[in-house]
């Protein structure tokens, strides 16, 4: 009799625990669903907005890339939240397993990015970028992807070269293709130039004499600790999501 009561009590406690996990997972994924919907809405609004904001974004390659990054992130969060909510409230093993696998793939992808970033960290040095710039940068009017990316960086961060305008010396590809110019046109594209654009192109006094390496590092230095903390929070949430999903999956009869 005592064993039967203990067994019944244990089964009831297990059911209560499973029910708690079920509703916690539903609430958790509902907020993920709302976050994904919000990001999707922002991304779509920016792309279709008729008031001219779309042209501003399209003119800046970094903003343009950021909008699509927001759309992709929003879509993934939307799908994750939907699968998690439906799988939890309906106690559907198939949806829970799909949710678990999707979270696991994202987690492993993030881990792989972190490992690759650590392995190839020596490729992020000032000397490496200087060598690449001198070898591949062609000029302001080039349609080359590498050159276009550097033009966007120099425009966005108001800088010239990796270290300074002196990176475009006689040994650089840019000078071989443009022997009459000492600096690219993008280094002279500002409204507050104290000299003419022609003088700037001849290297008399490049207005953007700050190197892009220092400019980018200074810009992101403010956010590096925030990004690290956010990455830890995201990985922790993903781990708990996988644990909750598997516990609920195993508890469903």
Q: What is the pLDDT of residues 158-177, one digit of tens each?
A: 888 899 888 888 889 988 88
Confidence (pLDDT) at 6: 47
Identify the residue with better confidence: 52 or 188. Answer: 188
Structure tokens, 176: 């071989």
Nearest to 204 by CA among 185, 187, 186, 182: 182
SS3 51: coil
What is the DSSP track for 88-145?
Answer: HHHT-HHHHHHHHHHHHHHHHHHHHHHHHHHHTGGGGSHHHHHHHHHHH---TT---H
C-beta separation of 153 from 159 below 8 A:
yes
pLDDT average, residue stretch 19-38: 82
SS (H, E, C) 6-38: HHHHHHHHHHHHHHHHHHHHHHHHHHHHHHHHH
pLDDT in tens, 32-45: 888 888 888 877 87
**Domain ranges across the chain:** 1-124+216-251, 126-210
pLDDT average, residue stretch 20-24: 81
Cα separation, 70 vs 57, in Å, equals 13
pLDDT at 148 over 60: yes
Structure tokens, 131: 């060598």
Distances (CA, A) of 152 to 56, 129, 147, 215: 14, 15, 9, 13
pLDDT at 67 over 80: no
- The rounded mean pLDDT for the chain is 76
Confidence (pLDDT) at 2: 46
What is the DSSP track for 156-212?
Answer: HTT--SSSSGGGSSTTSHHHHH-TT-SS-GGGG--TT-SS-HHHHHTTSS-S--S-H
> Taken in order 7, 10, 12, 15, is the CA torsion positive or negative?
negative
Confidence (pLDDT) at 13: 57
DSSP class of residue 59 equals H
pLDDT average, residue stretch 2-7: 49
SS3 252: coil
Confidence (pLDDT) at 219: 76
Identify the residue with better confidence: 98 or 15. Answer: 98
Confidence (pLDDT) at 90: 83
């Amino acid at each position: 009799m005592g064993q039967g009561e203990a067994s019944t009590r244990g089964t009831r406690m297990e059911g209560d625990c499973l029910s708690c996990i079920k509703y916690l997972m539903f609430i958790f994924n509902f907020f993920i669903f709302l976050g994904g919907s919000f990001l999707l809405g922002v991304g779509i609004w920016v792309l279709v907005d008729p008031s001219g904001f779309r042209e501003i974004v399209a003119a800046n390659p970094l903003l343009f890339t950021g909008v699509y990054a927001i759309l992709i992130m929003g879509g993934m969060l939307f799908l994750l939240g939907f699968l998690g909510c439906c799988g939890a409230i309906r106690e559907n093993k198939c949806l829970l397993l799909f949710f678990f696998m999707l979270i696991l793939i994202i987690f492993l992808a993030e881990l792989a990015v972190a490992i690759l970033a650590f392995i190839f960290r020596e490729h992020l040095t000032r000397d490496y970028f200087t060598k690449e710039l001198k070898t591949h940068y062609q000029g302001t009017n080039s349609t080359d992807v590498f050159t276009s990316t550097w033009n966007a960086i120099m425009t966005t961060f108001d800088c010239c070269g990796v270290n300074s305008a002196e990176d475009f010396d006689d040994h650089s590809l840019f000078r071989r293709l443009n022997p009459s110019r000492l600096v690219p046109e993008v280094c002279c594209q500002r409204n507050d130039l104290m000299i003419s654009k022609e003088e700037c192109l001849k290297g008399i006094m490049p207005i953007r004499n700050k190197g892009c390496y220092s400019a980018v590092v200074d810009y992101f230095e403010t956010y590096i600790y925030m990004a690290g903390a956010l990455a830890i929070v995201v990985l922790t949430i993903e781990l708990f999501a996988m644990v909750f999903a598997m516990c609920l999956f195993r508890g469903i009869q």
